[in-house]
Amino acid sequence: MTRGFQEKLGQGGFGSVYKGKLRSGHDVAVKLLGKATTNGQDFINEIGTIGRIHHVNVVKLVGYCAERSKHALIFDFMPNGSLEKYIFNREKASSLDWDMKFKIAVEVARGIEYLHCGCDIQILHFDIKPHNILLDDKFVPKISDFGLAKLCSIEKDTVTMTAARGTIGYVAPELINRSIGGVSYKADVYSFGMLLMEMVGLNKELRGNNDDSSKYFPDWIYDHFNQGRDIEIEKAEENNGNDDENESRKSLVHKMTIVALWCIQIRPDDRPSMHKVLEMLEADVKHLHIPDYPPQSAHVAGNEEESWRTDATDSVSLLHYNNGSSIEITIA
């Protein structure tokens, strides 16, 4: 199928991905899981989860292989790769206009909403991030990598966790500090908010501004809004467009930023559902209001700079509760 694993598409903590072709001529991506996957649990999770999902914004599982300790998952091939390449690569980022970026954000939200309430069971992904959003030939986004997913009844408000799971920079605070609140689908809402922040480029902009580089990330955004200042990013792109295009772009940036601020509220109860997130994204930005400033925000995560930084390469294996006990966090 892969002609001896000739064309490697990428690599992660799970193993490697290779391009393949079925006998029918259909292109596929073959995810070969490494030996590090504990007792094949990630493999079982992914088959059990994604095998029951059929949605335009979720990657399609074509099949799987299992021979002794060797495990592989076979998916539809996504020719435009992951969203991460279009966020962290300046050259590729310029190939997506703001209308397309916004369309991708809305469709990712639709995919997450389907996982939460569109199936006969609730699916919590726990690893929403740009790397796990794949783009097909028409840039339709597909949520992928369900190795950390958890299935639970739609009627359940919270789930029991023996260890935190996710990627640092996108993982919800309640997964690290149990005193913040119970773990639920709101963890995915938080991760989506951080995804929006990366799509808009706010965290990157803050790190590039020497005057504000030490400021707690959401504080910087609230300061801009409270002072009536536009959040200016990608100035070169703005100068190249006409006035109507610039106003449209500012409106989309403003809307995505407000929605992101709602999603990354510290307390899970203060975050909207994905259904509400979609309503906000599809509403007129004039009808949206900024959430109240969370007074406890700067004290919850402990180390602010490390907790809120969202570099693609960030990883950590052990984090600590405020009471001194520790929790293992799985990094995808």
pLDDT digits (tens, 9 = 90+) for 105-124: 999 999 999 999 998 889 99
Give the residue from 200, 201, 199, 223 showing the smallest Cα distance to 211. Answer: 223
Strand-pair partners of 65 = 72
Using CA atoms, how far apart are residues 95 and 93, in angstroms rounded to an integer? Answer: 5
Q: Given 127, 145, 211, 292, which residue is catalytic? A: 127
Using CA atoms, how far apart are residues 44 and 128, in angstroms rounded to an integer? Answer: 19
**Res 168: pLDDT:** 86
Q: Which of the given ranges, 33-42, 186-195, 291-300, has the highest pLDDT on average?
A: 186-195
277 touches 189 (CB < 8 A): yes
Catalytic residue status for 99: no
**Res 192: pLDDT:** 97
Share of the chain above pLDDT 90, in %: 44
CATH architecture label of 84-330: Orthogonal Bundle (1.10)
Residue 186 has pLDDT above 60, yes or no: yes
Using CA atoms, how far apart are residues 159 and 28, in angstroms rounded to an integer? Answer: 34
Neighbouring C-alpha atoms within 13 Å toward the C-beta of 262: 19
pLDDT in tens, 121-139: 899 999 999 999 999 999 9
Question: For the chain, what are the domain ranges?
Answer: 8-76, 84-330
150 touches 65 (CB < 8 A): no
Tokens (6 digits) for 99: 């209308």
Residue 234 has pLDDT above 60, yes or no: no
If one counts every other C-beta atom within 10 angstroms of the C-beta of residue 324, the result is 6
State the pTM of this model. Answer: 0.81
Range of lowest pLDDT (145-154, 207-216, 306-315): 306-315
CA 161 to chain centre: 20
Name every residue whose Cβ is closer than 8 Å to that of residue 14 and which is 6 or more positions away in sequence.
31, 33, 34, 36, 37, 42, 145, 147, 332
Q: Look at domain 8-76 and name its CATH class.
A: alpha beta
Tokens (6 digits) for 150: 């958890």
